[in-house]
Amino acid sequence: MTSASALEKVLGKLDEGLPQALDRLLDLLRIPSISTDPAFAGDVRRAAEWLRDDLAAIGFDVSIRETPGHPMVVAHSAPGTGRKILFYGHYDVQPVDPLELWDTPPFEPRIEDTPKGKVIRARGASDDKGQLMTFIEAFRAWKEVHGSLPEGLILLLEGEEESGSPSLRPFLIENASELKADIAAICDTSRYTDGRPAITTQLRGLYGEEITLRAADRDLHSGYFGGIAANPLQILCNAFAGMKDSDGRITLPGFYDGVTELPEALRKDWEALDFSSADFLGAVGLKEPIGEKGRTGLEMTWSRPTFEINGMSGGYTGQGFKTVLPGEATAKVSFRLVGDQDPEKIKTAFRAYMEKAIPADCSISFKHHGGSPASHMNITDPAFAAAKQALSEEWGVEAAFVGAGGSIPIAGDFQELLDMDTMMVGFAMDDDRIHSPNEKYDVESFAKGARSWARIIATFA
């Protein structure tokens, strides 16, 4: 049997077994594995046990690993001489509130016909149970055709991703020798907006800070004290206004240390996506981009750093009107980071800037809300080109290397703790309503996602 004919048999097996694969997914979706709510701890474990039993039935050496929180599911195929791949997904889901906005019960999954095609409707359908089952179904079909699983596979399925992954880093550190592979694969990402398959190769990092600025020892009458007493809200506004220049660049000293220009290969890929800033903003009632001058829309959202004010409060905000100068004001801000920017250095520079911006008779305090550097993958690794070709062949359109404006901390953890890059290949769509009522996952995403993983696995095998 040639490798090409063997792959065709695997793809055929996936097509033939799609109804049964959908039944398995619906079965998993019925389990309300909400990790953030202790009332559902038993259901989270039940989902872990479901996956353990399913993987064991395929032929994996699989076990449930205890953590201080929810369990991990770890599975291995037989060791081999080729490259080892670590597959990561999560089986926990978000809460369903507000329940009244769901058209159907969130844990009574169903296949629905929509104007755009058939969808799987349930909490977790897209994030992340439907996605992780795409590679499990690919492994299942591979085993049925070849009689054995691909060698060198490691599966790590987490039960705390939707509640901040508190056990993940300690688990990776403790089990590094077992989990170390040549490359990782994460399924918790999306296709590009136009539906083409995509491999996410870079993620922005994050640094968050909460600032409290105190002036007078109480709120003051603005008639008596306006014009002479410090106003914490105004001081914060003035300081934040100075954070950007007229070209949209951030003014903190050393802020752009580690920020690199887009590699030419990625620039060409992104240009081919024909992104429209007007269309992107039009979907939320805007039309004018406000980022750095001279940058494209995709650069602004994927590969350039940002400073954002996420919220401010102080003084009187209730019904009616009250003429006061607040004695205290708070603000929450965040930075999206790229390249090799260091969150700790930026925290130090930002705090120094804010302390310098306040009057001598005022005080300022800070509450750190976490920080993580950006992640960028080495796409010169031949695995990336092979996966891109495999995706292009499956979907009949050129796949793209893309970036993401948000963060997937596990990708950075794999780089830092296990010294391996990650291929982030998922098949969700922008309208999947993840974390929202009426979450869905396209049946096409599920079916062709499994076929895509079979093709990618074949490039490694």
Residue ranges of domains in the chain: 3-203+376-460, 205-259+305-372
| Distance, CA of 315 to CA of 219 (rounded, Å) | 7
Q: What pLDDT shows up at residue 283?
A: 85
CB atoms within 10 A of CB 264: 8
Do 3-203+376-460 and 205-259+305-372 fold alike per CATH?
A: no
d(CA 263, CA 355): 37
**From CA 226, how far away is CA 205, in angstroms rounded?**
41
**222, 325 contact by CB (below 8 A):** yes
* Euclidean distance between CA atoms 119 and 110, whole angstroms: 8
Predicted confidence at residue 263, as pLDDT, reads 85
356 touches 433 (CB < 8 A): no
Pick the CATH number of 3-203+376-460 from 3.40.630.10, 3.40.50.300, 3.90.1150.10, 3.40.640.10: 3.40.630.10
pLDDT value of position 274: 87
**Would you state the pLDDT for residue 139?**
98
Token code pair at residue 444: 């096409």
pTM for the whole thing? 0.86
Short-list 139, 19, 117, CA closest to 451:
139
CA dihedral (372, 410, 419, 168) positive or negative = positive
Query: Which pLDDT value is given to residue 265?
Result: 81
Residue whose entry in the numeric block shows the structure tokens 């296949």: 111
Distance CA 179, CA 182 (A): 10
Contact between 203 and 408 under an 8 Å Cβ cutoff? The reply is yes
The pLDDT assigned to 1 comes to: 43
Could you name the CATH architecture of 205-259+305-372? 2-Layer Sandwich (3.30)
Q: Which amino acid is at 242?
A: G
pLDDT means over runs of 10, the chain (461 residues): 82 98 98 98 98 98 98 97 95 97 98 97 98 98 97 98 94 98 95 93 93 97 96 98 97 96 87 91 92 95 96 94 96 96 96 97 95 90 96 96 87 94 95 95 98 96 78
User: Do residues 447 and 120 make contact, with C-beta atoms less than 8 angstroms apart?
Assistant: no
